[in-house]
Structure 1
């Protein structure tokens, strides 16, 4: 698996930026993996509409320019890793 070229800080339910709680996307040519380190997080994809609840140790793939947002489901810790080639999701 390629190493991410950048990662966000680890956020919890209090420090998660509003920008990640609202509709946003990755840039062209950028994949992301939302990684839940503790707790639970809802990841919502805007188009096509779908949502998944990620548990501790789980991850969700973000495709380039894919609109999405996240919502903490209680106490949690998460980060996003960014890749410039399609990552394995492990």
Structure 2
């Protein structure tokens, strides 16, 4: 089992964050996401059950396969999502 992501998004800021991430979406079956904030903070909103996770540079967030979610920003930030084939190491789901 690899502890390295197999793919990563570009680094996004509050202006370049795509609408697809700002609106409800999910990863595919078997794909885990790891939302990492490099600067600032974002809110990771899960839809069912509804849950809000505040993501900061010291608090990355795992995104389980097929979990519907979106990201909200409220100021300057830089973030990136890494993708894994199993739960990312060291991060609770």
TM-score, normalised to structure 2's length? 0.91
- How far the C-alpha of 1:74 sits from its partner, in A, is 0.2
The count of residues paired between Structure 1 and Structure 2 equals 90
* CA distance in structure 1 between the aligned counterparts of 2:59 and 2:38, rounded to whole angstroms: 8
* CA distance in structure 2 between the aligned counterparts of 1:54 and 1:80, rounded to whole angstroms: 12
Bigger strand share: 1
| Unpaired segments ≥5 residues, structure 2 | none
Structure 1 runs (4+) greater than 4 angstroms displaced: none
Give the equivalent residue in structure 1 for 2:9: 8
Q: How does 1:16-31 map to 2 (within 5 A)?
A: 16-31=17-32
Report the aligned-residue RMSD: 1.4
| Unpaired segments ≥5 residues, structure 1 | none
